[in-house]
Amino acid sequence: MIDDKTIVYDEEVKGWTSFFSYEPELMTGLNGRFFSFSEGELYLHNSKNVPRNNFYGEQYSSKVSVIFNDDPSTEKMFKNIMLEGNKTWSVNLKTNLTEGSIFRDEFHKKKSRYFAYTRRNEDNKELSSFAANGIGVAESVVGNVLGFKSDINNSINIGDNVTQIQGEEPIEIGFIESIDRKNKSLSFGVYENPPSGSGFCYATKNARIEGDKIRGYYMRADLENIDIDFSELFAITSNTANSYV
């Protein structure tokens, strides 16, 4: 056992091939069938009478992780993900610089493959993209209204998430509900954290749409499938382009 997982050895390939989340007390094979024990109860695996990924009455998901590391000395933009299989999977992406995700319904079938573009960098600590815009130094707090010393520029919009630097710490204030540019103020519905009458503020938009591209020297893709019926996944590929930023 490693980290509460069961590891599987395949005699045909002479190697360790898989991890399983279930933890049997005993495993054995008999007449081409695989049995295990849990809390003294006997279980038959690969049974058609229970959903796939269901072990000892608990439902699990299938997970696969791959590393894209072609030309590792070159910084690249990862443009898409292509799946060869009979279904789509949800995908979490992480490089040495950025991170992102692809939902299952964002894949589209093209011939025998499923294809999806990568969305933008979702790392909320990354402020160098178009998703982040400075507002200015706060001057007053009256109820749910935060006033500023300078004009609020037109790049700030309703729905943006405002963060304020309090001391040296960035504190999330909440989402903008209305903007009064004439009186240099922003209104909030409910504060995530109480704002201060002083301290620089900036707004962030939906980074998944307006953030930087998914870029880096390598990319890890973590795929997950929650289906309880038959699923196949043969290959995972990604197209890249050199990043010259």
Confirm if 156 and 176 have CB atoms less than 8 A apart. Answer: yes
The pLDDT value given to residue 143: 93
Residue 160 located in a structural domain: yes
pTM of the model: 0.74
- Is the domain of 155 the same as that of 218? no
Q: Hunting for tokens 């040495």 — which residue is that?
A: 96
Confirm if 175 and 159 have CB atoms less than 8 A apart. Answer: yes
127, pLDDT greater than 80 = no
77, pLDDT greater than 60 = yes
C-alpha to C-alpha distance for 98 and 219, rounded to whole angstroms: 9
- Is the domain of 20 the same as that of 67? no
Reported as a pLDDT band with limits 50, 70 and 90, residue 2 is: very low
Percentage above 90 pLDDT, the chain: 59
Residue 49 located in a structural domain: yes
Half-sphere exposure of 158 (CA within 13 A, CB side): 6
DSSP code, position 209? H
Domain tally, the chain: 3
- Is the domain of 46 the same as that of 86? no
The pLDDT value given to residue 1: 37
Q: Which domain holds residue 159?
A: 132-205
Half-sphere exposure of 116 (CA within 13 A, CB side): 23
Residue 110 located in a structural domain: yes
Residue 165 located in a structural domain: yes
Please list, residue by residue across 36-55, b when 16 or more beta carbons sit within 10 angstroms of its beta carbon and e when fewer do: bebeeeebeeeeeeeebbeb
- Is the domain of 11 the same as that of 76? no
- Is the domain of 89 the same as that of 117? yes
Mean pLDDT in residue range 200-227? 91
